[in-house]
Amino acid sequence: MTLAGMTLDSLEDVARAMVAEGKGILAADESTGTIGKRFASIDVESTEENRRAYRQLLFTTADAEHFISGVILFDETARQSDAGGQSFVDLLSSKGILPGIKVDRGAKPLAGAPGETVTEGLDGLRERLGEYRGMGCRFAKWRAVIDIDEATGKPSDYCLDANAHALARYAALCVEADIVPIVEPEVLMDGPHDIATCDRVTERTLQRVFAALYDQRVPFEQIILKPNMVISGAKCAQQASAEEVADRTVGCFRRTVPAAVPGIVFLSGGQSDVQATANLNAINARFDDLPWQVSFSYGRALQAPALKSWRGAQANVEAAQAAYFQRAKMNGKARTGSWSAAME
């Protein structure tokens, strides 16, 4: 099977296309609650039509496909169409952009572990994946949320294991359904912890995630990992440089991520848009011998300037598309370590 000239006969083919040279993934899968918060920040009412119009703006941005390999959609968006009546899934596919789907149902309190969460959504997942594959979705996403709080000993091993088990069950079902799973264990950057703490917690998390994937017979060649970078907590007084983020992130992944995994796509997780680009660039500039493609799957860091330009007005669509295109292009450069601050 081909999509805009790409051969996509196997899950390995799809996974490699997701991390094709110079390209990364747009996370546009904000749930109705989350997009409501983003719209509130620009004084736009979160109606179904406004959500559709905003996603249309992103997906019809000319030439974004030079830097964007795939888009993660929320269920509502996967069922919506552009103004001309073409479904977003078909519109993206026609541009050679792979449509993906968020299938988790959010992080919920973990029984017996106050303040910790486990991600839900496994019940009925086989049937939902079957429907999404029939609609044309080629990959999926499931996000586990790991919070650091040194004062209360978070994260517990129990929380890490519960989330790793769920991520692996999800991934195994995706492979069965001919869908590439994006496996996303996010260690949050909220809080005052330092980068060494993030490094240790990210290592513990990834070690358990890959053990669970192995136990549940998920072929590493058929997944994409979506982790946090190893980075200072947002409220830490000592903020690590892009070079230290790069070195610690790569060191952590070398200890935990099998070489068979085709690609690692970072979440931005609250980094500013330019910081997320600079850190990705530093990784690719400092290391040219990594076993995996190292790319991006940013939500906020790709969309924030576009949202600000748009503000819900049709007259601002062109400016918003230019802002989104610029972030996609800058991150495309960071894929090869050829970005510089002067390009901004």
* Collapsed DSSP state (helix, strand, coil) of residue 222: helix
Structure token digits, residue 156: 């517990």
Among the listed ranges 16-24, 90-98, 231-239, 293-301, the one in contact with ligand 13P (CB under 6 A) is 293-301
Question: Using DSSP, how many helices (H) and how many strands (E) does the chain show?
Answer: 12, 12
256-275 burial: b if 16+ Cβ within 10 Å, else e: bbeeebbbbbbbbbebebeb
Q: Which is nearer to ligand 13P, 96 or 299 (CB)?
A: 299
Q: Which is nearer to ligand 13P, 10 or 274 (CB)?
A: 274
Q: Which of 184, 186, 329, 333 is catalytic?
A: 184
Residue tagged 């072929």 (tokens): 219
Among 185, 299, 332, 337, binds ligand 13P (CB under 6 A): 299
| Binding residues among 183-212 for ligand 13P as defined by CB under 6 A | 184
- Among residues 322, 335, 272, the alpha carbon closest in space to that of 301 is found at 272
User: For the window 24-43, what string marks contact with ligand 13P as x by the rule CB under 6 A?
Assistant: ---x----------------
Query: How far apart, in Å, are the Cα atoms of 195 and each of 5, 111, 113, 285?
Result: 42, 29, 25, 20
* Collapsed DSSP state (helix, strand, coil) of residue 184: strand
| Binding residues among 134-153 for ligand 13P as defined by CB under 6 A | 143
Q: Is the CA virtual torsion 151, 201, 146, 67 positive or negative?
A: positive
267 touching ligand 13P, by CB under 6 A: yes
In angstroms, give the least distance from the CB of 2 to ligand 13P.
Answer: 27
- Residue pair 230/212 in contact (Cβ under 8 Å)? The answer is no
307 touching ligand 13P, by CB under 6 A: no
In angstroms, give the least distance from the CB of 302 to ligand 13P.
Answer: 7
Q: Which is nearer to ligand 13P, 134 or 205 (CB)?
A: 205
Helix (H) or strand (E) holding 264: strand 263-266
Q: Which is nearer to ligand 13P, 250 or 280 (CB)?
A: 280
327 touching ligand 13P, by CB under 6 A: no
Residue tagged 């290592």 (tokens): 203
Cα dihedral 62, 298, 222, 147, rounded to 10, equals -170
Q: Is there a catalytic annotation at residue 184?
A: yes
Q: Which is nearer to ligand 13P, 10 or 326 (CB)?
A: 326
Q: Which residue is nearest to ligand 13P (CB)?
A: 299
Q: Which is nearer to ligand 13P, 155 or 299 (CB)?
A: 299
Among 54, 132, 298, 325, binds ligand 13P (CB under 6 A): 298
Q: Which is nearer to ligand 13P, 95 or 300 (CB)?
A: 300
Render 50-66 in DSSP notation, one character per residue. Answer: HHHHHHHHHHT-TTGGG
In angstroms, give the least distance from the CB of 59 to ligand 13P.
Answer: 16
In angstroms, give the least distance from the CB of 50 to ligand 13P.
Answer: 19
Q: What angle do CA 237, 241, 245 make, to 5 degrees?
A: 105
How many CB atoms are closer than 10 A to CB 181?
30
68 touching ligand 13P, by CB under 6 A: no
300 touching ligand 13P, by CB under 6 A: yes
330 touching ligand 13P, by CB under 6 A: no
Residues that bind ligand 13P (CB under 6 A): 27, 143, 184, 267-269, 298-301
| Residues marked as catalytic | 184, 226
